[in-house]
A and B are shown apart, each in its own frame.
Chain A
């Protein structure tokens, strides 16, 4: 390594140091902590999804079971129309069961692009549930207040090629290590989606945002709200819940 390069390296490390000293944080550790907060071994929650239509606002309540990052099962509780509809995600496969037709249909390919219940979220958005640490290289770029909390600004760049969003900008609550806002970008740098969180609550020993607004910035409208009504972490979930045959029950 020649002198100049060395010099550059030192400067780089120094600048990093300045930043890290400022926030006393290692971005990777921070990311790990976020993952820890967001993804628990198991999670059981009841969530209300509020879809703001052009003329009508729709509320859908569902109960969800999550195991790790890969498996999840949810059942719609209301409104009456959707009641009993179940969704099972195992790894990269997604099935939907409808009680009225007593059919289970796998959502794949083209259909994954469809919006879930008219919300700003598509099926494929739901599929991305890998741990952030595994997918992104984080960098802390600053600090600012976001949604009422003092936050680090985190820039995540994809490590591997097969991620849905190449880049994520994340505002992380310094006190609870919970994301307060995420901006999801396309490969080109175009902002695609914005997720705003609020109402941080403690569940067991973790913190979790109980309110979330998911917005497709390319589309008109107010986006879609998710409100957690109840949440339990690390409870025992029997294996049969994540079995395809459970859909038909």
Chain B
């Protein structure tokens, strides 16, 4: 039985290869559709992966421990939304305060965020705080810099209030402008050493939330709530999935074309190769087996196409995965508050690859079968003669 099947495959392969140019055209089309499907899906997967990675790297880490009274969507909660920090070497406290920047005589309300200079949980270049000789070193994101015409080395006056409500103001120095794809840690805020912010405000060892590295298994006091990485990423992932869904339409059209090509070839095969079919039957093949053989021939297009497609797309997408594809613009993503890099790095997962292969072969097989069903109805003698 297995041998029979193998023979069928061998035969099918020989048959379609001997058809030459025609076969290669069909295969090219199918391979092309396969390539595009892989490419688009990889692009979304890459975006999702990159976006998730960026947000983990820059903002969420392995989760956050947030003060109950603090809600990042509600600026009202900043003022009193802080509490004595949790001491643990695998978590970094972040304290948020409000202040005003005064670039060129304008007043710019901002959030001041303090984070330990020696933290390595998120990618913010906090080491710059220690490396700088400035008295009040801060770092800001690229979007904050562009929107407000700020640059590295700029000294601007910052005014804030300490815990007693006393005004304080100092020249801060922008010692670094970091480049991130995560707008929520960039727009309308400045970052400084939490030690400095504690000193500036008198809110010694207070934190609005903590960024957690690794598993945090300790019992939390009732003032704190833990939000896991997955909780924090939920919104983003559902949005990418949505976008992915909307591109499915494209694959349907592409597959449609490729399947037309197969269908076409199969119709032709049945028509053109009646004599051959008759011969097979005369040789003792059952009609069922001939049908199977021709169906396998059709499926063989898909098999060859996926092999060729994989040979091209795997290195191509891997290469693009390193080089990146430029498809969006930064300002756009900032405006929507969505994490997306200017460059997308497509990512080909084995799940995607194999599921695409599976679907293409399955659909091709079905499409190949449709025209060859006719064989079962054929009169053997007529078939041998090459008549309908």
Contacts and interface: CB of A to CB of B under 8 A. Distances in A.
> Real complex partners, A and B?
yes
Interface of A: 109-110, 113, 124, 158, 161-166, 184, 186-188, 190, 192, 218-221
Contact of A109 (B79, B106, B164): B79
Contact of A219 (B78, B105, B164): B105
Contact of B169 (A124, A188, A221): A188
9 contacts: A124-B165, A161-B166, A164-B167, A165-B167, A186-B168, A186-B169, A187-B167, A190-B169, A219-B107
Contacts of A124: 165
Interface string B168-193: 11100000000000000000000000
A15 B169 CA distance: 33
B102 A187 contact: no
A219 to B, nearest CB: 6
A186 B102 contact: no
Given A109-B79, A110-B75, A113-B98, A218 B107 contact: yes
B107 A190 contact: no
A194 B100 CA distance: 18
B166 A218 contact: no
A190 B78 contact: no
Interface in B67-84: 75-76, 78-80
Interface in B13-46: none
Contacts of B169: 186, 188, 190, 192, 218
A162 B165 CA distance: 6
Contacts of B196: none
Given A219-B105, A219-B107, A220-B106, A110 B166 contact: no
Contacts of B157: 190, 218
Contact of B166 (A163, A190, A219): A163
A157 to B, nearest CB: 12
Given A110-B79, A113-B109, A219 B167 contact: no
A188 B170 contact: yes
Given A184-B167, A190-B159, A220-B106, 15 more contacts: A109-B76, A110-B75, A110-B79, A161-B164, A161-B166, A164-B165, A165-B167, A166-B166, A187-B166, A190-B170, A218-B100, A218-B105, A218-B157, A219-B106, A219-B107
Nearest to B135: A188
B98 A219 contact: no
Given A190-B170, A218-B157, A218-B159, A162 B107 contact: no
Contacts of A186: 159, 167-170
A198 B34 CA distance: 83
Contacts of B204: none
Nearest to A115: B107
B90 to A, nearest CB: 33
Would you call the interface of chain A mostly helix, strand, loop, or mixed? loop
B162 interface: yes
Contacts of B168: 166, 186-188, 190
A53 to B, nearest CB: 14
Contacts of B170: 186, 188, 190
Contacts of B98: 110, 113
- Best-buried of B98, B107, B167, B170 by chain A (most CB within 10 Å): B167
B80 A158 contact: no
Contacts of B105: 218-221
Nearest to B157: A218
Interface in B102-122: 102, 105-107, 109
Contacts of A187: 162, 166-168
B106 A162 contact: no
A236 B168 CA distance: 39
Contacts of A110: 75-76, 78-79, 98
A163 to B, nearest CB: 6
A25 to B, nearest CB: 28
B101 to A, nearest CB: 10
B156 to A, nearest CB: 10
Contacts of A184: 167
Contacts of A218: 100, 102, 105, 107, 157, 159, 169
Contacts of B162: 187
B128 to A, nearest CB: 22
B167 A192 contact: yes
Contacts of A158: 166
B131 to A, nearest CB: 23
B48 to A, nearest CB: 36
- Best-buried of A113, A164, A187, A220 by chain B (most CB within 10 Å): A187
A123 B105 CA distance: 20
B314 to A, nearest CB: 54
A188 B165 CA distance: 14
Contacts of B80: 109
